Amino acid sequence: MKKLIFILFFLISLSTIAQQKKSEKEERISKEEMPQKALLFLRNFENNKTKKNRFYFEIDSEKKGYEAKFKIASFLYSVEFGEKGNLQDIEIVKDFDSINPLAKKTIQTYFKENYAKFNVEKVQLQFKKQRTETEKETYNRAINHRRNKPDYYEFIVKVKIQKERKRLEILFDSSGNFKKQREIAESSYDYFMY
Amino acid sequence: MITLCTKKTSVLFFIIAFICVSASAQEDLRMLINPAVNIKVKNDTPWSYKFGVANREVIYRNNQFDPAVRFLEFSHFTSREVGLYGKLSAGVRYRFIEMFPEGFHNELRFIEEYTHSKKVGVYKISHRFRLAQRFKSITVYRGRYRVAVEFPLNGLRTDNRELSMEINTETVWEMANNFRPTLGQRFTTAFDYNFSEAVKVNFGLEYRYRNYTGRFPYTQLFFLSGLSITL
């Protein structure tokens, strides 16, 4: 029995050490825990009857940040802030079919050329805070997203590359040209078998 | 930081309370514990493997606490990813039953299954179709379908040292020669806790309503616990 316990602990330690990745954490927080500067900016949205307001804190090995998520009409908004509450970007969830037709065609061609199989899981219009503009100006561009072109399209796509399945976050510019991508770590999809 | 999961936690406690009340309302109730340890082997190929050991003990029956070991089980599953969201698995289980005082025949079981899992927002929804052949004193064939929902209890994803919750229900159709086919339904709720990417534990309750189309239906309440190690 002692041997069995020893082997079990050895396996647990080994697997923990072998699979340690960057420390990354995201958690839901209350509105009061958001930086004052961020809350001040979020007041811009108050006239638009926001619903389902949620606030999150995120930390990884490179940065800390805050995020506010809410709904205006049928659109889901996600506003990202830096550690001190400075606006980073505003993202709005859209259907793939409703983005600019030319950009959509370019993006579709990119997917077909690069992946054996793909499924678009999420599309977001991204309005980034530019150095040359105020936060209010970024807000104005984002809130009028039906008229304004976004800076980027952010895609979450499940793809098959050779024989491997991956979930990717891919960034395209407003014309649909590829900019960059990163792999999203899959949480375990396995269940315990009773 | 304050943990904001009150709504989800309330749902969880409602489900647990529902399972407990439903179970205690049954006359022929059996309570069992089912601890399990699984070791999963994953690599960069579409293939993955799982080795498990589990045991089951009945702790309550005939309206009294009367513990007895039912079996010790060893299992192996080999799985292959198919498509973007699917997984095909084949497995074998062997249950040592005869070695325990109340046991009759050891059991060999072959299992084939297809699982489809997809995330919708923060919810992971899984459908599982499973066939099983149980070789014991008689050969029993089973068809099963399970739908499961899993979601984090804090935030948008389950980070290490955070809890997620799983709720599932499964229909079990059982057939054997010279026996009427039987139907059963299972309801499960469980917490999963990630110690790290590689080590997870879970605790839960499973309520089984067995043979409800037959003349002698009975119910079982399982206290589940599991340790999963990924190598």
Which of B1, B81, B198 lies nearest to residue A15, judging by beta carbons? B198
The answer to whether position A191 is within a domain reads no
Does the pLDDT at position A188 exceed 70? no
Domain B6-230 has CATH 2.60.40: no
What does the block give as tokens for A101? 């037709």
Pair (A75, A123) in one structural domain:
no
Pair (A101, A152) in one structural domain:
yes
Task: List the single best residue of A34, A55, A67, A192 to mutate versus B (max B Cβ within 10 A).
Answer: A192
Q: What is the ipTM of this complex?
A: 0.71
Range of the domain at A39: 23-85
Determine whether the interchain pair B4/A15 forms a contact, defined as Cβ–Cβ distance below 8 Å: no
Determine whether the interchain pair B157/A26 forms a contact, defined as Cβ–Cβ distance below 8 Å: yes
Q: What is the pTM of this model?
A: 0.81
The answer to whether position A16 is within a domain reads no
Pair (A169, A114) in one structural domain:
yes
Which contacts qualify for A93-99: CB closer than 8 Å, 24 or more apart? A93/A122, A93/A123, A93/A124, A94/A123, A94/A124, A94/A125, A95/A123, A96/A120, A96/A123, A99/A123, A99/A125, A99/A153
Pair (A65, A114) in one structural domain:
no
| pLDDT averaged over every residue in chain B | 88
The answer to whether position A136 is within a domain reads yes
Q: How do residues B68-116 score in pLDDT, each as one tens digit?
A: 999 999 999 999 999 999 999 999 999 999 988 877 889 999 999 999 9
Shortest Cα distance, chain A CAs vs residue B147, angstroms: 12
Pair (A104, A58) in one structural domain:
no
Which chain B positions have a beta carbon within 8 Å of A8's beta carbon? 37
Q: How do residues B38-53 score in pLDDT, each as one tens digit?
A: 999 988 888 999 999 9
Q: Which of A52, A85, A118 is the last residue of a domain?
A: A85
Determine whether the interchain pair B162/A27 forms a contact, defined as Cβ–Cβ distance below 8 Å: yes
Which of B1, B81, B154 lies nearest to residue A165, judging by beta carbons? B81
The answer to whether B190 and B228 are in contact (CB under 8 A) is no
Domain layout of chain B by residue ranges: 6-230
Pair (A75, A98) in one structural domain:
no
The amino acid occupying position A57 is F
Q: Which of A85, A111, A130 is the last residue of a domain?
A: A85
Please report which residue ranges of A19-156 form alpha helices under DSSP H: 36-42, 101-114, 135-143
Which residue is listed with tokens 């969201």? B85
The answer to whether position A112 is within a domain reads yes
Determine whether the interchain pair B196/A20 forms a contact, defined as Cβ–Cβ distance below 8 Å: yes
Predicted local confidence at residue B16, as pLDDT: 66
Does the pLDDT at position A9 exceed 60? no
Helix (H) or strand (E) segment spanning residue A4: helix A2-18
Kindly indicate the confidence band of residue A1, based on its pLDDT and cuts at 50, 70 and 90. very low
Q: How do residues A137-183 score in pLDDT, each as one tens digit?
A: 999 999 998 888 999 999 999 998 887 888 899 999 999 999 999 88
Determine whether the interchain pair A8/B148 forms a contact, defined as Cβ–Cβ distance below 8 Å: no
The answer to whether position A101 is within a domain reads yes
Pair (A73, A121) in one structural domain:
no
Pair (A64, A138) in one structural domain:
no
Domain count, chain A: 2
The answer to whether position A192 is within a domain reads no
Determine whether the interchain pair B199/A119 forms a contact, defined as Cβ–Cβ distance below 8 Å: no
φ, ψ of residue B35 to 5 degrees: the values are -75, 145
Q: Which of B190, B182, B186 is nearest to B171 (CA)?
A: B186
Q: Which of A60, A85, A110 is the last residue of a domain?
A: A85
Size of interface A-B (CB pairs under 8 A): 110
